[in-house]
């Protein structure tokens, strides 16, 4: 009897520990990046013994898999097209709005930005999860656009989207720790307005209002 020495954090409740581990994973990714993620660091952050991680999740990859399922790394189609009336918008304006919403959605997800940054270096579990959701959502969006607007055959929509989307992803990830690039600031929303305006112009140039 007696003792009850150690300050058990989970108080014999595995669900609490699991939740803490998952939360800690997010915290580490956002603060230090995926490169500094490890079982030891994760256990430290979660305030639990690393043995529990192995017991509950198998290994670090198991934690990542579960983490990926518990979060939405990407916008949904509804996020992007919500309240958007195809009849009241020119196709040009519609594409511009979609691109702006994409940028806003990405920039507001620090975890996603960290994964985007890391996937250029290593093909981790989280990178693969992000890749999958991104591909499916992108296809959904393309389908949605294709059903509502007809685009000039001359414009290669996938290629243009890939280009502008890549630029947004790259600059959003880069803007986390660099404030200015090529004479263009990346930090504040006001800075981003300049970039988004340029995107507007590029879209307007390549797909004129019908």
Partner DNA sequence: AACCTTTGTCACCATACGGTGACATGTAGC
Partner DNA sequence: GCTACATGTCACCGTATGGTGACAAAGGTT
Binding site for its own copies (CB under 8 A): 33-35, 116-123, 131, 135, 138-139, 154-156, 158-167, 169-171, 173-174, 177-178, 181-184, 194-195, 197-199, 201-202, 204-206
Report residue 124 as tokens.
Answer: 């981790």
C-alpha to C-alpha distances, 50 to 5, 38, 63, nearest whole angstrom: 19, 10, 12
- Residue 205, Cβ neighbours under 10 Å: how many? 9
Q: Which residue, 16 or 35, is less far from its own copies as judged by CB?
A: 35
User: How many angstroms separate the CA atoms of 63 and 112, rounded?
Assistant: 16
Hey, is 3 helix, strand or coil?
coil
Nearest to 163 by CA among 201, 193, 202: 202
Q: How far is the CB of 10 from DNA (least distance, A)?
A: 3
Half-sphere exposure in the Cβ direction for 122 (13 Å, CA): 11
* Binds 96: which of DNA, its own copies, none (CB < 5-8 Å by kind): none
> What residues line the site for DNA (CB under 7 A)?
1, 3-14, 16-17, 38-41, 48-52, 54, 59-60
Q: For DNA, which is the closer residue by CB, 51 or 163?
A: 51
Under 8 Å between Cβ of 25 and 37: yes
CA–centroid distance for 124 within its chain: 15
Q: Which does 11 bind (CB under 5 to 8 A by kind): its own copies, DNA, none?
A: DNA
Q: Which is nearer to its own copies, 144 or 170 (CB)?
A: 170
Q: Which does 121 bind (CB under 5 to 8 A by kind): its own copies, DNA, none?
A: its own copies
**Minimum distance from CB of 43 to DNA (Å)?**
8
Q: Which does 144 bind (CB under 5 to 8 A by kind): DNA, its own copies, none?
A: none
Q: How far apart are the first and last CA of the chain?
A: 81
What's the min distance (Å) between Cβ of 37 and its own copies?
A: 12
């Amino acid at each position: 009897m007696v003792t009850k020495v150690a300050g058990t954090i989970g108080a014999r409740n595995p669900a609490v520990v699991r939740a803490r581990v998952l939360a800690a994973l997010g915290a580490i990714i956002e603060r230090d990046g995926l490169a500094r993620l490890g079982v030891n660091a994760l256990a430290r952050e979660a305030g639990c013994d690393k043995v529990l991680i192995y017991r509950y999740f198998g290994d670090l990859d198991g934690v990542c898999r579960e983490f990926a399922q518990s979060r939405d790394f990407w916008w949904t189609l509804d996020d992007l097209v919500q309240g958007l009336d195809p009849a009241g918008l020119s196709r040009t304006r519609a594409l511009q709005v979609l691109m702006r919403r994409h940028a806003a959605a990405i920039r507001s997800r620090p975890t996603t930005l960290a994964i985007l940054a890391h996937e250029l270096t290593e093909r981790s579990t989280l990178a693969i999860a992000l890749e999958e959701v991104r591909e499916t959502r992108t296809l959904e969006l393309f389908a949605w656009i294709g059903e509502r607007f007809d685009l000039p055959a001359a414009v290669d929509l996938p290629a243009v989207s890939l280009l502008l989307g890549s630029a947004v992803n790259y600059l959003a990830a880069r803007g986390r720790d660099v404030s200015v690039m090529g004479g263009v600031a990346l930090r504040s929303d006001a800075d981003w307005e300049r970039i988004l305006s340029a995107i507007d112009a590029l879209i307007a140039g390549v797909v004129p209002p019908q």
